[in-house]
Structure 1
Amino acid sequence: MKSLLTAERVHFIGIGGISMSAIAHIFIEKGIKVTGSDAKASPATLKLEEAGATIYIGHSSDNITDQDAVVYTGAISDDNPEFAKAQSLEIPTYRRTQAIDAIMESFEVSLAVTGTHGKTTITSMLAMILEETPQDASYLVGAKLPHTHKAYKLSPSTHIAVEACEYKASFLDLHPTTIIVNNIEEEHLDYYDDLDHIIRTYQEFATHLKPKNYLILNHDDFNTRRLIKDCNCNFVTYGINESSTFEARQITFDMHGYPSFEVFYEDEKLMELTLKVCGKFNVYNALGAISAAYVNGISIESIQSALSKFSNAERRFEILGTYKGATLISDYAHHPSEVKVTVQAAKNFDNKEICVVFQPHTYSRVKSLLLEMSSAFKDVNHLYITDIYAAREANTYNIHSQDLVDLIIEEGQNATYIKELKDVIPHLDTIAKDNMLIIMMGAGDIDQFARTIVD
């Protein structure tokens, strides 16, 4: 795979995505001539042009000429003309995750963070921890970090942290030295058959580790614990409720929902820590980052210094500002479990009513998790649900947001269907007040809309 990084010209199909654009920037920094295409122009494509890339808007076979290699996103269609042209010219093609693996190969320690939830936050935490070390940091994250406004960084370090996505089993292309698994639930059921299929895929990923490598698991998560049985490397656990290698004890929350806790390693106290991100789920995220950093030789001082000032990555309970006096938050939650913990975190805010504007993400997810989703919004005072964001799908599932709204109402909770995001404004104008949190929630374009309505 190292041959990919020795190429002179590389083309990226779907270059505008957060991960693809980050990889493209790394290739540019390595002196590789980058071309790329995407369906539409975006801030990401403009940044790439400023960095020296040649960007084509729209996919065309004409965009493939004399490149040495082509990297493509999993979101492209089977009949993509650029992919077909590359194959006809026998130009080597690489999946996005194969390009990440090529980058990882040059590092002595590679930390891959995976799981159904928390991947971006744990990887972001590790990135900040590595930046506190003398050797600096290298990382690839699925969101921009607030202090750099970038989703990547490449430095002459020995460690790299990467976010490892489980969709379509893409993480099987990666060969890290440490894997962190935060949790495992039913998700991406448009690809996976069922939960057992998902767990088997994680088990296969764990086999990529060598005997001296580390498998780091959230011991409080039942499905994650199932990976221990066949582990042929060093395994480390973290948790709150279960006896674990790393534990958080004496957890308290302040008026903003920020947790303070003590961290123990094999029953010996390592540190006291106060986070500037809210929610119990962020205690788990911090434990995952602490575990991975500590066993890979990062000092307690670097870990504590980084996490004490860590703030959320983009769209992870990100406070955007205010709307009519209410605190306006953008959050990426789109799975029922993510919705629940986000609402729980919001409840920890002092004397706040909670309003959620939720944009469901993909027809397959809503169809397969409809019952779970309908019960995920308990304790929300005002709930508005938009049309489903289709992303990569056509609606072959005979599902509609109104089905979700009807089920929520049937369970005794108020919910309102709104067709388009702009239609929520009259509703928000009626209810917005100083002691309210308005959470714009979802993995689609709701974040872009949220940023346009900040006071």
Structure 2
Amino acid sequence: MVETRYVEIPPPTGPLDLTRPHFVGICGAGMSALARLLAGRGAQVSGSDVNTGEVAAQLEAAGCRVRAGHDAANVAGASVVVWSSVIDAANPEIVAARAAGVAVAHRSHVMAQLVAEADRSVVVSGTHGKSTATAMLAVAVGHLNPSWAAGAAPVGSVNGQAGSGLLIAEGDESDRSVSLYRPDVAVVLNADDDHPETFSGTADVVGTLTDFAIQARTLVACADDAGAREVTDRVRSHGDTKVVTFGESADATVRLLSATPTVAGGSTVTVLDPRGVRVSWTVCSPGRPAVLTSLAAYAAGRVLGEAPQVLAAGLSGFAGVRRRMQLLGAVEGVRVVDSFAHHPAAIVADIAAARELTGGRVLVAFEPCGATRVRVLGERMGAALAAADEVVLLPVRDAVPTAAGAVSGQGIGHAAVSAGVRVHSVGGLDQAAGVLAALARPGDVVLTMGVGEVAGLGALLLEPSARPLAAA
């Protein structure tokens, strides 16, 4: 989740009737996964969204009924109407449901109920990497046919499924709803000063993730991240939750011994298992975040009782997640990689990961998202972008309206230039593609980075009918 409006999520009022759920905004990343999971369990799922397309078609194929646009008539017959934090309370479907006496529940209430009902459950949290870790773990224990739901889809697949009584789910911290979950295993990947529309800083994020972690039987946390270590220290002082750590730190329960880059652009990872044996697997994506995320999945799998070699084989077969350092293709020796990074820490990490792919330059096309985020973190975003060789800066995408109004990316650009990188400000994707075509040369990596329309830039660069890179 990138930026939500600040909302107060009311506590659950009791068990929800999930036989005929209706999702307002069903094509959203988290909502679509939850809808898919419920449909696979036999529920009659319906939903609506103003943005339909590939996701809507996939949901229809999974048995969901999807309507374009929001209309009060869409909630007829629903047993519960589900909303997320990007949905306005004045949405006609929410208003109609309340008027008709139909239960209205935040999506976290639904997930919390599913977690509570599961035979075993793992909820993955943290500021960065949740979707990847959730999908990695689901693939690593795929022989168990787990039920799972993530905020992004693995390459060539979808973002969740119904399966066995083991549930693996992504827990969203952006609206504090992660603290509603009571899993058997809580995973905390990291804790950073994200979501300024909700949190006052890193300490506030740490507090919410601690509230979540102390409710689990076991906490799996990164030993190398300062925020996650603070969560771990607080949980240990609580005394009731077992702690398993992972990372390069000497005291980590699952300790990283080496991560060697592969010719294909990933890494061969070797860890020291808690039982003293060395275990290795291959991670297909470049960069240290991908390595640490695989350690999180391995550590959680060990807590579930799975054998080291079974987990290693599963992790080696993981094909990556869409928009998470995903190689889209290459033209004339220029590789195009898609990145979801939108926080300064993630921007730095993904540019560093891109450098593992080439001895040439890294050109970044960045689309900032969220007015509040840009106001608070914009200068840091610009400084982070300076790790690239050239930056193409797209306009700020306003994820949700704010009382303070829209904001420009000018501060990001100024900060990037001050940090020593050349910035090319553009008005849209077509212009960005043209600038990149003029800049790129064989051996370069073009990194399309951000949350919104920039996701379509790679297709513009690689589309056979256009191929601007080839024309440069």
TM-score calculated relative to the size of structure 1: 0.93
> Does the alignment pair 1:225 with 2:233?
no
Q: Is the partner of 2:422 in helix, strand or coil? A: coil
Q: 1:255 to 1:42 in 2, by over 3 A?
A: same
Cα pair 2:125 2:189 within 8 Å, conserved: yes
Per-residue CA deviation, residues 360-395 of structure 1 (Å, 9 max, x unaligned), is: 111111111123212212341221010011111347
| Percent sequence identity over aligned pairs | 24
Separation of aligned partners in 2, 1:13 and 1:259: 40
- Alpha-carbon contact 1:216-1:237 (below 8 Å) kept: yes
* Letter paired with 2:213: A
Report the CA distance between 1:162 and its aligned residue.
0.9
In the other structure, the counterpart of 1:24 is 35
User: 2-side partners of 1:136 and 1:41: how far apart?
Assistant: 29
Alpha-carbon displacement from aligned partner over 1:218-245 (angstroms, at most 9, x marks no partner): 1111121112333221011111134211
Count of residue pairs the alignment pairs up: 447
Which residue, out of 70, 81, 94, partners 1:59? 70
Does the Cα contact within 8 Å between 2:30 and 2:151 map onto a contact in 1? yes
The equivalent residue for 1:117 is 128
In 2, Cα distance between equivalents of 1:236 and 1:50: 39
Does the CA contact (< 8 Å) of 1:104 and 1:176 recur in 2? yes
Residue in 2 aligned with 1:82?
Answer: 93
5 Å matches for 1:249-260? 249-260=257-268
Could you tell me which residue of structure 1 aligns to residue 468 of structure 2? none
- SS for the counterpart of 2:155 is coil
Deviation at 1:398, TM superposition (A): 6.2
Separation in structure 2 between the aligned mates of residue 325 and residue 228 of structure 1, nearest angstrom = 45
Structure 1 residue ranges, 4+ long, deviating more than 6 angstroms after superposition: none
Q: 2:63 and 2:166 mapped to 1: Cα distance?
A: 27
| 1:173 corresponding residue in structure 2 | 180
Match in the other structure for 2:349: 341
1:291 pairs, out of 287, 299, 303, with 299
C-alpha distance in 2, partners of 1:106/1:397? 42
Structure 1's unaligned 5+ residue stretches are none
Q: Residues 92-119 of structure 1, C-alpha deviation per residue, up to 9 Å, x if partnerless?
A: 1111122222333342221111111111
CA shift digits 1:173-216 (9 cap, x unpaired): 2221111111100000111122222111111112322xxx1111
1:144: which partner in 2? Answer: 153
2:26 counterpart residue number: 15
What is the aligned counterpart of 1:302 among 300, 310, 329? 310
Give the structure 1 partner of residue 6 of structure 2.
none
Q: Does 1:95 align with 2:106?
A: yes
Q: Does 1:203 align with 2:210?
A: yes
Cα displacement (A) at 1:324 = 4.7
Query: What is the deviation of 1:439?
Result: 0.8
Do structure 1's residue 194 and structure 2's residue 201 form an aligned pair?
A: yes
Cα shift at 1:51: 3.9
| 1:301-380 equivalence runs, <5 A | 301-380=309-388
Indicate the residue corresponding to 1:105 in structure 2.
Answer: 116
- Calculate the TM-score normalised by the size of structure 2: 0.89
Maintained 8 Å contact 2:125/2:209: no
| Shift in Å, 1:139 | 1.1
Aligned equivalents of 1:426, 1:274: Cα separation in 2: 36
Paired with 1:16 and 1:251, the residues of 2 have a C-alpha distance of 37
CA 1:139–1:51 in structure 2 vs 1: closer, same or farther (change >3 Å)? closer
Report the CA distance between 1:259 and its aligned residue: 2.2
Instruction: Give the direction of change, closer, same or farther, for the CA distance of 1:55–1:262 in structure 2 (3 Å limit).
Output: closer
User: Per-residue deviation at 1:410?
Assistant: 2.0
The more displaced of 326-335 and 268-277 is 268-277
- The answer as to whether partners of 2:354 and 2:362 remain within 8 angstroms in 1 is yes
1: CA distance, partners of 2:52 / 2:194: 30
Distance 2:133 2:395 in 1: 30
How far did residue 28 of structure 1 move? Answer: 2.4
Judging changes above 3 Å, is the alpha-carbon distance between structure 1 residues 327 and 166 closer, same or farther for their aligned structure 2 residues? same
Post-superposition offset of 1:320 = 0.9
**Could you tell me how far 1:283 is from its partner in structure 2?**
1.6
Give the deviation of 1:297 after TM superposition: 0.4
Aligned-residue Cα RMSD (Å) equals 2.0
Counterpart in the other structure of 1:416: 424
Name the SS for the 2:277 alignment partner.
strand
Contact 1:238 1:245 in 2 (8 A): yes
Letter in 2 for 1:94: A
The code of the aligned residue for 2:166 comes to: H
Deviation at 1:16? 1.2
Alignment partners' CA distance in 2, 1:96 and 1:151: 16
Q: CA deviation at 1:255?
A: 4.5
* Paired letter, 2:100: L
1:383 aligns with 2:394: no
Residue identity matched to 1:167: S
C-alpha distance in 2, partners of 1:60/1:261? 51
Where do residues 262-281 of structure 1 align in structure 2 (5 Å cutoff)?
262-266=270-274, 268-281=276-289
Mean Cα displacement is larger for which, 11-20 or 392-401? 392-401
Distance in 2 separating the partners of 1:323 and 1:165:
37
